[in-house]
Amino acid sequence: MSRPGYVYHLREPVGYEDGWSMQRNLADAVSRGAMPDTVLLLEHAPVITLGRRTEPGELHVPDGAEVEIVETDRGGKSTYHGPGQLVCYPIFDLKRHGQDVKRYCRDLEEALIRTLLPLDIAAIEKSVEETGRCMVAMEAPRTSGFASELVAQVQERCFYHLEAPIERVTGWDTPYPHAYEWAYFPGPKRMKRALEKVMAD
């Protein structure tokens, strides 16, 4: 049975504390029945959250990094959020969903996968036709990842429009300890080098 619901998509980056306050207010309204189930979509200003399982010495932030550090009462360890990373906060009354937390988590995971699955390859193709350039960035390993699939599709569809090789900026093909995730992620320096390369004449 379908139920009405709200989806809020905030377009500007939101501070973590502001986003957390917004979630608490929405949760109160949903639990009282004043609002239907609600999904909040937003991007955070740069922040590292420290969950209940964060271990001493786990966090390594580069000197001069403009990132807020916030302790939370949520599970998990340290997590980075920032602009360009869309975060989904579902605020549901589980009494309306069978009060089965495990099933709810599985259903939520499936819903997100189904939402993200469609790839607007036509829009990407149009962009490459107009610019003659393409750079793909992804946190996951370089080999056999989604970035590889996207590069292959762009190459197949836009070969005659490309004016430079496609640049791929990804994580490394190796396991890594979370203490070194800043070195693993495709950070600003690697992105800058890739952009300069793909835009070179």
For residue 51 the two structure tokens come to: 């969950």
Find all residues with CB under 8 Å of 186, minimum gap 6, and list them: 137, 138, 139, 169, 170, 171
Q: What percent of the chain has pLDDT over 90?
A: 33
pLDDT at residue 61, as a whole number? 81
Cα(23)–Cα(91) distance, rounded to whole angstroms? 7
Map out the domains of the chain with their CATH numbers: 5-116 (3.30.930.10), 121-199 (3.40.50.920)
Q: Where are the alpha helices (DSSP H) in the chain?
A: 16-31, 101-116, 121-131, 146-158, 181-184, 188-199
pTM of the model: 0.58
pLDDT 10s digits, 33-71: 999 999 999 999 999 999 888 888 888 787 888 889 999
Sign of CA dihedral 125, 130, 133, 139: negative
pLDDT 10s digits, 135-173: 998 888 888 888 898 999 999 999 999 999 999 999 888
Chain-centre distance for alpha carbon 25: 24
Centre a 10 Å sphere on the Cβ of residue 176 and count the other Cβ atoms it contains: 13
- Beta strands 87-91 and 78-81: pairing type? unpaired
Pairwise pLDDT comparison (163 vs 113), residue with the higher score: 163
- Output the average pLDDT for the chain: 86
